Amino acid sequence: MPQLATTPPLTKLSEEEALFRDTVRDFAARAVKPRVAAMERAAAIDPAVLTQCFEIGLMGIETPEQHGGAGGSLLMTVLAVEELSAVDASVAIFVDVQNTLVNNLLLKWASNDVQRRYLPRLATDLLGAYALSEPDSGSDAFGLQTRAAKRSDGWVLEGRKLWITNGAEAGLFIIFANADFSQGYKGITAFAVERGFKGFSVGKKEDKLGIRASSTCELILDGCEVPAANVVGEVGKGYKVAIETLNTGRIGIGAQMIGVARGALQAALKYVKERQQFGHPIGEFQAVQFQLAQAATELEAARLMVYNAARLEDAGEPYTMQAAMAKLFAAQVAERVTSLGVELFGGYGYTKEYPVEKFYRDAKIGTIYEGTSNMQLNTIAKQLLK
């Protein structure tokens, strides 16, 4: 039978959650929005924005206070990612990857020693990255070819990683390599690798369609030396570390997509009240009104799915299917709503003078990273047929 929620639906945010959401919304409007165009042109995040994300506590939302974090919930991470994405999805993915793929992974799987060494820094000044994908290992993530060889004093990694978000700026990388190919995917192991480790380097930075200010890079492991203490989880259990972390990460991507869709819809709602044709604002035409109503309805449904998946994870209940559904549907909605935004702006929507073309480009990645839409359908079907 499919997984069913047993706790009551989330009907409203708590006072603390609402205050946190409003704080992030204010930060996005005040500190991020004025820099969006320049960051897009430069294809890089303004360092001042990243510094401020650390300063206001966005980079360690779920990290316990004992490790310097805010001690919050996954739902609070979702709220932050949504608010940032409504302004700039590139800044949002910095926050999302840090919290859902790096901090979350270390909290669940790392030794006390690794947590003590890295979590306080990740909450204050150290950016992290999650490195699973390879040139020939995308949806077939467990077919990775990066090799980990045991040495008396640690491990040596050989291989390449591709499509690594935060690669240009990160100082810590969670890297997956196979320590025993004879065991198949059960040889995969996770390692905490610092940028300064011997044999590690960052390669090509991708020139992308959307989320252009977010860096996406190749990593090169040429005899990369990793201390034995930097294994994350058990040797050979990296496949579990990877898939369970991605289940949570998909909720974050769902949040990014509802934020992107919301930003486009808000821009369109404002524009249709101003743009006149045939002597009337186009928002007075029923055809336009119905399109906007449909978009708003789908966005609300996607938001509730994303919030529900986060609520289930926070409650310790099964959430794999709900996370896959949330990411799948939120990505579909984001594509539809941002496309509508471009159309309602007409010719102006096709120019960089107005914001909807960027929302449209940023939406596409939601169907690709952290599991393509087809992979989400595959996950959902497996859960249904269990």
pLDDT for residue 87 is more than 60: yes
- Which of 5-14, 31-40, 168-177 shows the lowest mean pLDDT across its residues? 5-14
300 tagged catalytic: no
Domains of the chain are 15-126 (1.10.540.10), 129-237 (2.40.110.10), 239-384 (1.20.140.10)
The residue among 99, 101, 239, 225 whose CA lies nearest residue 180 is 239
pLDDT for residue 71 is more than 80: yes
Per-residue pLDDT, 5: 44
Report the predicted TM-score, pTM, of the whole model to 2 decimal places: 0.96
Dump pLDDT digits (tens) for 223-253: 999 999 999 999 999 999 999 999 999 999 9
Per-residue pLDDT, 1: 40
Per-residue pLDDT, 12: 85
Task: Provide the pairing of β-strand 128-131 with 172-178.
Answer: parallel
For 45-50, what is the mean pLDDT? 97
Note whether 13 and 303 are within 8 A (CB): no
Quick count: other Cβ atoms within 10 Å of Cβ 110?
22
The DSSP annotation for 60-78 comes to SSSS-GGGTS----HHHHH
Quick count: other Cβ atoms within 10 Å of Cβ 280?
10
Note whether 246 and 109 are within 8 A (CB): no
The residue among 255, 204, 195, 257 whose CA lies nearest residue 226 is 195
* Tokens (6 digits) for 125: 């000044």
- Look up tokens 């594509």; give the residue: 335
For 211-228, what is the mean pLDDT? 98
Per-residue pLDDT, 45: 97
User: How is residue 371 annotated by DSSP?
Assistant: S
339-356: buried (b, 16+ CB within 10 Å) or exposed (e) per residue? bbbbebbeeebeeeebbb
Active-site residue, selected from the candidate residues 82, 83, 335, 370: 370
Per-residue pLDDT, 330: 98
